[in-house]
Structure 1
Amino acid sequence: MKNYIIVLFVALLSSCKNENSNNRKTDLETNPKTLTADDIISKSIAVSGGKRFEKSSLKFEFRDVYYQALRKNHEFLLVRVLVNDKDSIFDMLSNVGFERYHNDAFVKLEDSIANVYSASVNSVHYFSVLPYGLNDEAVNKTLLGSEHIKNKDYHKIKVTFDESGGGEDHEDIFVYWVNKDTFKVDYLAYSYEEISGIGMRFREAYNERYVNGLRFVDYNNYKSETTAIPLENLGKAFEDNQLQLLSKIDLENIKVDLVNN
């Protein structure tokens, strides 16, 4: 199975073509008062690793599960490996879709089940490299203004997704708090659909480290005991100690290799 993944990586790399980036460059000396939501996110991505994400192979563990991601320009392969005794489940999400393997055998799945597994794999990889990905075409960004949290000033940005290209969870809504001095994402909140209604989470970044030029953080994961607090107000609720610590989101054994063009 490992050989299969290696072959798939090589095939993916060989099929990639160099593309000129169409991303608009922003002037780091721009007056912060004139910055748009796009400007702020672009600067945040830049200080977090920028184009290095687009040519990276990274590996990490999350809650005893192994993950691997290969990105080359606009091509990607996201892998999750679950090991139980002598059995292994390989979930692989790429530009061409989702596939699951039990040891070396391909597992045929109903579309509804495949979509659930695909969303699960994508979610972990999505959070692992934020704010990278927030300049994708299906992402809509709105500047909500400024907010003061823990004696620091933040740009407050709301993110929604188009149904087309926005993924299985395109109805989720995010709010990012981007530090005005460092342009790093220190906090984020999001709402999501669950059986009982709408759930909300607030995350506080900590344990920042750079691995081969890419920024990674862990999160304290909070929830509100009431749904009466709007998503956009969770930052203030955190400042006022109104949120309950639910869990920690820790990435372990991170390794990053840069892929040549």
Structure 2
Amino acid sequence: MKNYLLLVFVVVLFGCKNENSNTNTITTEAVTKALTADEIINKSIEVSGGEKFKKSSLKFEFRDVYYQALRKNHEFLLVRILVKDNDSIFDMLSNVGFERYDNKDFVKLEDSIAKKYEASVNSVHYFSVLPYGLNDEAVNKALLVSEQIKGKDYYKIKVTFSAEGGGEDHEDIFIYWINKHSFKLDYFAYSYNEGKEIGMRFREAYNERYVNGLRFVDYNNYKAEDAKFILENLGKVFENNQLELLSKIELKNIEVQLVDN
């Protein structure tokens, strides 16, 4: 049930090809000049899969919900499939907007409800492929002072979003810690404001694996109980064991196909 409608979209929009999975080999790079935030992000995206993200079909499960992301250059289709008994709800976000289907039937939603579903779908897909996406037009990057976490050196980059093109959650602020040796994203933190709820989260990457050349990780998801903590300082707060483990962000049954030009 969960596959029949997706197959239609895959056939119509994209032609996919399988390639043998390969693990990226990361080499140490001697940095002879100060790197900009853009250059650091570019290197981080490159070691995580680079241009392959732009031509890929991804499938994975997150908390017993099915997701698929189809990307081909500037076109994209992000899907969430909710399966219950014999019914399937398809939430689909693409270049043309957000749509929901109950099995094969289109569901008309109020704008406010549609925006919430759209943000929810986009959020899971956004986090699943980080740091890919950090070069979008609405992203603003600033290089902060480098720091150490658990004895390793990190570039520290602050990301904000422009109102235009930044989505419903454009006021959220992110901090990314990128390893100076491998250029991999090991930690990130963010602040959010959802109605009356204001808070911060800190995520620690683990369980790294490459699937068909694309890097995926799971995360330990921490919350900051003390309101006095500052978002930019959560790396040190984490190192001092002052954060509470809230949940684990785990992607399961990941499949990757690379899309023909």
TM-score (normalizing by structure 2): 0.91
Query: Is the 8 Å Cα contact of residues 187 and 203 (structure 1) preserved in structure 2?
Result: yes
Question: Shift in Å at residue 228 of structure 1?
Answer: 1.2
- Cα separation, 2, equivalents of 1:70 and 1:52: 12
Give the SS at the match of 1:51. helix
Give the SS at the match of 2:39. helix
Change (3 A) 1:235 1:33: farther
Query: Is the 8 Å Cα contact of residues 212 and 257 (structure 1) preserved in structure 2?
Result: yes
Give the SS at the match of 2:12. helix
Query: Is the 8 Å Cα contact of residues 57 and 257 (structure 1) preserved in structure 2?
Result: yes
The answer on 1:222 being equivalent to 2:222 is yes
Aligned to 2:109: 109
Aligned to 2:7: 6
Aligned to 1:77: 77
Amino acid at match of 2:151: N
Question: Shift in Å at residue 198 of structure 1?
Answer: 1.8
- Cα separation, 1, equivalents of 2:49 and 2:158: 22
Aligned to 1:86: 86
Higher relative contact order (CA 8 A, sep 6+): 2
Question: Shift in Å at residue 9 of structure 1?
Answer: 2.9
Query: Is the 8 Å Cα contact of residues 29 and 181 (structure 2) preserved in structure 1?
Result: no
Give the SS at the match of 1:207. strand
Aligned residues: 248
Aligned to 2:257: 257
- Cα separation, 1, equivalents of 2:68 and 2:220: 23
Amino acid at match of 2:144: L
The answer on 1:143 being equivalent to 2:143 is yes
Aligned to 1:200: 200
- Cα separation, 1, equivalents of 2:154 and 2:32: 11
Question: Shift in Å at residue 199 of structure 1?
Answer: 1.1
Aligned to 2:164: 164
Aligned to 2:183: 183
1:33-44 map, 5 Å = 33-44=33-44
Give the SS at the match of 1:115. helix
Aligned to 2:125: 125
| Structure 2 residue runs without a partner (length 5+) | 16-27
Aligned to 1:25: none
- Cα separation, 2, equivalents of 1:246 and 1:229: 17
- Per-residue CA deviations over 1:87-130 (Å, capped at 9, x if unaligned) read 11110100000010111111000111000000000000000000
- Cα separation, 2, equivalents of 1:248 and 1:165: 29
Aligned to 1:23: none
Amino acid at match of 2:166: G
Question: Shift in Å at residue 31 of structure 1?
Answer: 2.7
Aligned to 2:99: 99
Aligned to 2:65: 65
Amino acid at match of 1:54: K
Identity of aligned residues (%): 75
Amino acid at match of 2:226: T
Query: Is the 8 Å Cα contact of residues 12 and 75 (structure 1) preserved in structure 2?
Result: no
- Cα separation, 2, equivalents of 1:133 and 1:204: 19
- Cα separation, 2, equivalents of 1:8 and 1:218: 28
| Structure 1 residue runs without a partner (length 5+) | 15-27
Amino acid at match of 1:178: I
Amino acid at match of 2:198: I
- Cα separation, 2, equivalents of 1:32 and 1:98: 45
- Cα separation, 2, equivalents of 1:32 and 1:113: 50
